[in-house]
Structure formats: structure tokens, C-alpha cells
Amino acid sequence: MPASRWFASLLLLGALAACGEDVDAPTEDPRLGAQGPPTSAPPETPMNDLETPVHTRLAPRLEDDGLRLEYVDCPRWSGTVPSVLECKAYVDGVVGQVEVELSRGPGGRVEFDAWLDHGVVATTRLVERLESEGYTDVDCGSTAAYEARLGTRIVCSVRDGDEATHVVATVTDRVGHVQIEDY
């Protein structure tokens, strides 16, 4: 065998051996959370006479999920009841949808109920779900909310029994449902 072919064979064998060694080398842990779009800043104009009470009622409910409601932006309301409005909610830099259901109460007073309808994945809810599925020491990163965008992948570190591992939650719809799989 000519020296040049012998040297090339030796290099190829060395490269193959090095590849085999890399397989057993420890890998870096994945980045927790998800890559998200840039955060959305709420409008700078003050909320109006409908948006302010919706914000006041809805904010404490979202705080229970670890979310901060920054602003509610509703379309112009005609003043008729019953009526349903679809408003934007600025939640921790993510824009979601709030349903506002307006009705006539006692004495002709206008009453309403409001809830976050879709568009947001709350990290605390994801952690609770993973814990309910038997995982412990769940950490999905420090981001409070993600846009419920189809295909978004949120990585969490978990403990499954004695084993520390990672799972990925993939958003399956705009409501914020996720599918959990091994990383």
C-alpha cells in the first residue's frame, strides 16, 4: 500500500475512533423553557371604563396561575346586553384572548364575567401537570408565560423516580394544550 493511502486510512480510522468516543462523552443539558417571539408591549393609552373593571376582576385569577395581567384591550362595545366581547390580554409580554360576557343584572345594572380564553401557556400550569403525572423537581425555566403557538416546544427538567431527565411539552393548539414527551 502506498504511504499516502496508508496515511489516509490511518486518519479515517482515527476519525472513526474519535466519533465513537464522543458518543460516550457527557452532553450539555438543554436550555429550559422555549424560544419565544419577542414580547409584546401593551398599549400606552389608559384602559377605558370597560377594560379597567375587566382587568381588576381578571388579574387576581391569573395571579393564581403565576401570571401578571398587564393590560386589557377590548373593541368598542355597543352598550347592548347580552353581549360577548373578545378582548386582547397582555399577560407577561404575551398576547392572549379574553372573553368578556356582558349581561343585564338586577335593577338594570350591567354585569360581566371575564376569563382568559386562549393564546397563553402558563408555566405554573405546565409544572402542575407534570407533577400530577408523577414527576418531581420540575423546572421549566423562569419565563411565566408562552404564546400558545402550534409547535412551540417547552423543555423542562424533571426527576422521574431516581433519574434526573428532561421532557418537552409541545403546544398542540391555540388554546394552550400541550403534549408531553421525553426530550
pLDDT score, position 39: 86
Q: How far apart are CA 110 and CA 9, in angstroms?
A: 84
Look at phi and psi of residue 156 and say left if phi exceeds 0, alpha if psi is from -120 to 50, else beta. Answer: beta
Q: How confident is the prediction along the chain (183 residues), in pLDDT tens digits per residue?
A: 554 443 334 333 344 344 444 444 456 789 999 987 678 999 999 999 999 999 999 999 999 889 999 999 999 999 999 999 999 999 999 999 999 999 999 999 999 999 999 999 999 999 999 999 999 999 999 999 999 999 999 999 999 999 999 999 999 999 999 999 999
Cell numbers 402558563 label which residue?
A: 122
Q: Give the pTM.
A: 0.77
pLDDT in the model for residue 27: 64
With a CB cutoff of 8 Å and minimum separation 6, the contacts of 146 are 33, 34, 36, 94, 120, 121, 123, 152, 154, 171
**Residues in Cβ contact with 1 at an 8 Å cutoff, skipping those fewer than 6 apart:** 9
Whole-number Cα distances in Å, 153 to 110, 131, 171, 175: 42, 18, 7, 15
